Every structure is written in C-alpha cells, then in structure tokens.
C-alpha cells in the first residue's frame, strides 16, 4: 500500500509565471509549459502533489507560488 494522498484531498496551490522563459534551458521551458503556463503573469491552480512540487522546484526561479 502506498501512503500517497489522493489529488481530491490535497489543497490547491496557485502558480504564477513572473519571469520570461526566453534564454532559459529547454528543460525549464518544458517544465513551465507542463505546469500549464504560457506567458508572464499567467496563473494556474494545481493540486499540491509531490510531482507538482518537483516541477516547481526545477524552475522555481521563474515562478511565484501561493496557497490558493
């Protein structure tokens, strides 16, 4: 059995792109796109899961994260 929380019970987090992806590594651009962000000041509300937290950690210098 796994101890992973189901996505419906996790609290949401709000992720906003605050810096341009221009000049960033290709993997960082792909991570931001995977979070559902396209342009500066674009915001996505996501479930607070370990997978999403890992994506935020990879390109956190471009993002602002808040509790939703």
3-class SS string, the chain: CCCCCCHHHCCEEEEEECCCCCCCCHHHHHHHHHCCCCCCCCEEEEECCHHHHHHHHHCHHHEEEEEC
| pTM summary value | 0.82
Overall residue count recorded for the chain in this entry? 68
pLDDT digits (tens, 9 = 90+) for 10-32: 899 999 999 999 999 999 999 99
Q: Is 51 left (phi over 0), alpha (psi -120 to 50) or beta?
A: alpha
Q: Does the pLDDT of residue 39 top 60, yes or no?
A: yes
Taken in order of first residue, the domains within the chain and their CATH numbers are 11-67 (3.30.1390.20)
């Amino acid at each position: 059995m796994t101890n992973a929380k189901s996505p419906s019970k996790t609290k949401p987090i709000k992720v906003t792109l605050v810096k341009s992806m221009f000049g960033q590594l290709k993997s960082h651009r792909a991570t931001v796109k995977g979070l559902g962000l396209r342009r500066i000041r674009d915001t996505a509300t996501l479930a607070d899961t370990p997978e999403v937290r890992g994506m935020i950690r990879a390109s956190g210098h471009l993002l602002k994260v808040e509790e939703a």
